């Protein structure tokens, strides 16, 4: 029989040796050829002609042949396309439409057509659109082909980067355009009349959606009575209503540099529900008594009420006055307001001391605010530090959030909770070993407990710098949103749930409804786990959109520094095999210093991401948390990357 012919068997084995099939990811280059990345250590060359059948990021099956002393990959089958739904810019050639994907490593102009609902829309050169890939060369088509499914904006729009970014993450670009209720719901709630009490609000100067007001009273024996009043949108929005459905889809107000997209219609968030001065407003309130050492009394009261804020105060003004009343250009309008501020400052100090002993404190790092022109140009970047007034509001909100979490846990056993479980169980041993190498001994099982985590965190915070803090972060889990109570290791708390921002967070609205159910003696409706998963994903999308816009604005702002001798103080925040990543201390921008710009003879340098240092001949040259001076050498707007070099090498 032919199949038994030894010559044929040998020939078949030879052919099998010459050709084999592997799975990998396509990596394009600046030139026409590319590579198939099989794993981190192995890749194969893809010839220019065959790169036309694939694009960067495609996962494919390829035949591999050994030719001219190197492995050549020939694309055979598409496993997972890199592009499905994507953003791109319209280009016209010979009366045909093409779309250029908004991806730095994708060079293809993809032929396209408008979808049926866009056929009458005159798409122009430079328009930004959303497309879906219809055809791929590895699935039987001759060329790539896409369908335009949505118009985003034209290239002349100054806010185009904002619209494009929001479209990239499938986020809304405007506040909900939906009719808002003007009448309150009949909730059968008795509301206490607190309108004569001198509640005050403290926010940023630009804040319009004011959701918290404070009243405090000295009741003797070193005790303070605090009432935190929170705006009450659920007094107007019924569960399952049109507005509630929209809010449940958006989940958060989305704050971007120079732009915010409200979760609720602005008529509600900026007017009807906002705790504006001298306006009677419905609220959900929490009353708690605090001893001189910051310990809250167990008799915490939640109730519905009416209040009228007597003063809309601004963080910086209050901080200036508290820090130095004589030099401050601002002062409270009367003694009642000044007394409220001073008592709140006293509360803040005692609660801060309580959290140092019984929980954990935040690390003080500034936020950075972009000052933009109407056309979206960066005029300046302002560092906003957490000052006394910020801490007053922060401590008050954390206190009543702890109270709400305990109430929901004890009375219902469910709600919307912020949960953080500390160290990843898979990495505790590794984390303990790393800490031991730096003189901190802690057993992995101790690290898994809330008390052990608190002790460790206090030890790390007492270090002369935050090097170990940065090293330990990679072994920790991310915080989660859960329907069941759980500890928040990052705050050092047994349970934590927010209800103080219902205008901006749908989870806080849900907790409002649950607290109201408890007040009325009813059973609340348990939120679904699917909803909390959706919250986590939407929070991630919002943060990525904020990061993308910030990166673009930083690139634009620092472009003017390229080629100048301007020096920036910077903190080393990460080490990779290719160089160091630094954060500019004045404005918060991150830049990369490649190895070649650290030392001319950089081949002898050892870069350790694990240990966070750069070594030369066993001498540590730089490590994470070092403060260095840099100059900006290149800014690539398209990839939003900033390249720096050491100032002393300039």
pLDDT digits (tens, 9 = 90+) for 74-113: 999 999 999 999 999 999 998 899 999 988 778 789 999 9
Q: What is the mean pLDDT of the chain?
A: 92
- Are 142 and 63 within one domain? no
* pLDDT given for residue 583 in this prediction: 96
* pLDDT given for residue 2 in this prediction: 46
What is the rounded CA–CA span in Å between residue 468 and residue 612?
A: 10
Residue 344 has pLDDT above 70, yes or no: yes
What is the count of structural domains for the chain? 5
What is the rounded CA–CA span in Å between residue 53 and residue 141?
A: 10
- The average pLDDT across 48-77 equals 91
* pLDDT given for residue 440 in this prediction: 92
Instruction: Judge whether 170 lies within some domain.
Output: no
Contact 194, 215 (CB under 8 A): yes
* pLDDT given for residue 471 in this prediction: 87
Domain boundary among 506, 528, 549: 549
What is the rounded CA–CA span in Å between residue 547 and residue 589?
A: 11
- Are 410 and 535 within one domain? yes
Instruction: Judge whether 438 lies within some domain.
Output: yes
Residue 227 has pLDDT above 50, yes or no: yes
Query: Residues with Cβ < 8 Å from 169, sequence gap 6 or more?
Result: 541, 542, 544, 545
Helix orientation angle between 315-323 and 388-411, rounded to the nearest 10 degrees? 120
Residue 15 has pLDDT above 50, yes or no: no
* pLDDT given for residue 470 in this prediction: 87
What's 268's DSSP letter? I
- How crowded is residue 599: how many other Cβ atoms within 10 Å of its Cβ? 15
Instruction: Judge whether 172 lies within some domain.
Output: no
For 272-303, the pLDDT digits (tens) are 999 999 999 999 999 999 999 999 999 999 99
What's 309's DSSP letter? B
Instruction: Judge whether 167 lies within some domain.
Output: no
* pLDDT given for residue 445 in this prediction: 94
Instruction: Judge whether 238 lies within some domain.
Output: yes
- Are 406 and 515 within one domain? yes
Question: Above pLDDT 90, what percent of the chain?
Answer: 77
- The average pLDDT across 469-497 equals 94
- The average pLDDT across 234-252 equals 96
For 577-630, the pLDDT digits (tens) are 889 999 999 999 999 999 989 887 777 889 988 888 999 888 999 999 999 999
For 523-576, the pLDDT digits (tens) are 999 999 999 999 999 999 999 999 999 999 999 999 999 989 899 999 999 998
- Are 360 and 347 within one domain? yes
Query: Residues with Cβ < 8 Å from 414, sequence gap 6 or more?
Result: 408, 483, 484, 485, 514, 524, 526, 527
* pLDDT given for residue 4 in this prediction: 58
Contact 99, 66 (CB under 8 A): no
Domain boundary among 156, 175, 208: 156
User: Which residues belong to the active site?
Assistant: 203, 209, 211-212, 315, 504
- The average pLDDT across 154-168 equals 91
- Are 307 and 437 within one domain? no
For 345-372, the pLDDT digits (tens) are 999 999 999 999 999 987 778 899 999 9
Contact 635, 562 (CB under 8 A): yes
- Are 356 and 465 within one domain? no
As given in the structure block, the two tokens for residue 112 are: 């396209």
Instruction: Judge whether 633 lies within some domain.
Output: yes
Low-confidence winner among 87-96, 308-317, 412-421 (lowest mean pLDDT): 87-96
- Candidates 587, 208, 546, 640; CA nearest to 367 is 587
Cross-strand pairs, 481? 418
- Candidates 303, 310, 356, 363; CA nearest to 334 is 310
Residue 11 has pLDDT above 50, yes or no: no
- Are 121 and 234 within one domain? no
Is residue 280 packed enough to be buried (19+ CB in 10 Å), middle (13-18) or exposed (0-12)? Answer: exposed
What is the rounded CA–CA span in Å between residue 53 and residue 144?
A: 8
Q: Rank 37-41, 147-151, 224-228, 520-524 by mean pLDDT and report only the highest.
A: 224-228
- Are 220 and 287 within one domain? yes
Instruction: Judge whether 163 lies within some domain.
Output: no
Residue tagged 């929901």 (tokens): 408
- Are 69 and 204 within one domain? no
Query: Residues with Cβ < 8 Å from 2, sequence gap 6 or more?
Result: 8
Cross-strand pairs, 614? 607, 622
Domain boundary among 457, 477, 497: 477
* pLDDT given for residue 464 in this prediction: 85
Domain that holds residue 224: 191-419+488-549
- Candidates 46, 112, 45; CA nearest to 83 is 112
* pLDDT given for residue 16 in this prediction: 47
User: Could you tell me the pLDDT band of residue 6, with boundaries at 50, 70 and 90?
Assistant: low
- Are 147 and 217 within one domain? no
Residue tagged 């209503």 (tokens): 241
What is the rounded CA–CA span in Å between residue 353 and residue 345?
A: 13
**Domain at 579, CATH number:** 2.40.50.140
CA angle 443, 444, 450 (to 5 degrees): 95
Between 520 and 599, whose confidence is greater? Answer: 520
- To the nearest 10°, report the CA torsion of 133, 550, 370, 393: 110
- Are 545 and 408 within one domain? yes
Instruction: Judge whether 13 lies within some domain.
Output: no
Element (H, E) at 116: none
Element (H, E) at 51: helix 48-51
- Are 394 and 496 within one domain? yes
């Amino acid at each position: 029989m032919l199949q038994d012919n030894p010559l044929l068997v040998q020939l078949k084995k030879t052919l099998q040796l010459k050709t084999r099939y592997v799975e990998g990811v396509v990596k394009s280059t600046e030139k026409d050829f590319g590579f198939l990345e099989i794993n981190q250590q192995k890749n194969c060359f893809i010839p220019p002609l065959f790169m036309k059948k694939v694009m960067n990021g495609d996962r494919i099956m390829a035949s591999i042949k050994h030719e001219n002393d190197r492995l050549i990959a020939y694309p055979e089958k598409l496993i997972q396309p890199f592009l499905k739904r994507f953003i791109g810019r319209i280009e016209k050639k010979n009366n045909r439409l093409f779309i250029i994907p908004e991806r730095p490593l994708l060079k293809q102009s993809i032929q396209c057509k408008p979808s049926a609902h866009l056929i009458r829309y005159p798409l122009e050169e430079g328009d930004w659109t959303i497309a879906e890939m219809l055809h791929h060369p590895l699935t039987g088509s001759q060329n790539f082909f896409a369908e335009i499914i949505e118009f985003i904006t034209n290239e002349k729009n100054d806010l185009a980067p904002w619209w494009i970014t929001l479209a990239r993450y499938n986020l809304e670009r405007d506040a909900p355009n939906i009719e808002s209720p003007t009448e309150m719901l009949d909730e059968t709630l008795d509301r206490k009349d607190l309108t004569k009490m001198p509640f005050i609000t403290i926010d940023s100067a630009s804040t319009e959606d004011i959701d918290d007001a404070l009243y405090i009273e000295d009741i003797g024996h070193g005790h303070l009575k605090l009432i935190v009043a929170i705006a009450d949108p659920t007094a107007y929005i019924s569960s399952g209503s049109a507005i509630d459905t929209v809010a449940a889809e958006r989940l958060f107000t989305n704050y971007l540099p120079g732009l915010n997209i409200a979760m609720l219609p602005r008529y509600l968030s900026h007017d009807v529900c906002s705790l504006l001065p001298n306006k009677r407003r419905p609220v959900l309130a929490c009353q708690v008594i605090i001893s001189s050492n910051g310990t809250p009394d167990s008799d915490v009261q939640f109730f519905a009420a009416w209040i009228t804020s007597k003063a809309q105060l601004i963080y910086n003004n209050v901080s200036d006055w508290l820090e130095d009343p004589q030099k401050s250009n601002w002062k409270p309008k009367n003694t009642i307001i000044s007394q409220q501020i001073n008592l709140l400052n006293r509360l803040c100090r005692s609660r801060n001391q309580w959290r140092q002993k019984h929980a954990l404190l935040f690390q003080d790092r500034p936020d950075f605010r972009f000052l933009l022109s109407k056309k979206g140009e960066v005029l300046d970047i302002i560092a906003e530090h957490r000052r006394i007034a910020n801490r007053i509001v922060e401590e008050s909100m954390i206190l009543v959030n702890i109270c709400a979490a305990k109430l929901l846990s004890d009375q219902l056993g469910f709600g919307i909770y912020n949960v953080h479980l500390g160290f990843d169980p898979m990495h505790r041993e590794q984390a303990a070993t790393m800490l031991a190498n730096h003189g901190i001994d802690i057993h992995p099982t101790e690290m898994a407990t809330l008390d052990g985590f608190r002790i460790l965190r206090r030890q790390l915070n007492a270090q002369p710098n935050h090097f170990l803090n940065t090293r330990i972060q990679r072994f920790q889990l991310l915080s989660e949103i859960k329907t069941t109570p759980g500890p928040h290791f990052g705050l050092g708390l047994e349970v934590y749930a927010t209800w103080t921002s219902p205008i901006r967070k749908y989870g806080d609205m849900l907790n409002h409804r649950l607290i109201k159910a408890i007040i009325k003696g009813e059973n609340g409706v348990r939120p679904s786990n699917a909803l909390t998963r959706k919250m986590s994903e939407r929070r991630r999308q919002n943060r990525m959109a904020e990061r993308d816009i910030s990166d673009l604005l930083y690139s634009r702002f620092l472009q003017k520094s390229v080629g100048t001798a301007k020096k920036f103080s910077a903190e080393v925040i990460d080490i990779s095999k290719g160089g160091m990543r630094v954060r500019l201390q004045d404005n918060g921008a991150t830049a990369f210093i490649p190895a070649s710009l650290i030392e001319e003879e950089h081949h002898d340098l050892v870069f350790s991401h694990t240990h966070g240092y750069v070594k030369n001949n066993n001498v540590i040259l730089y490590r994470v948390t070092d403060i260095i001076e840099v100059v900006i050498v290149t800014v690539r707007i398209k990839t939003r990357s900033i390249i720096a070099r050491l100032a002393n090498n300039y």
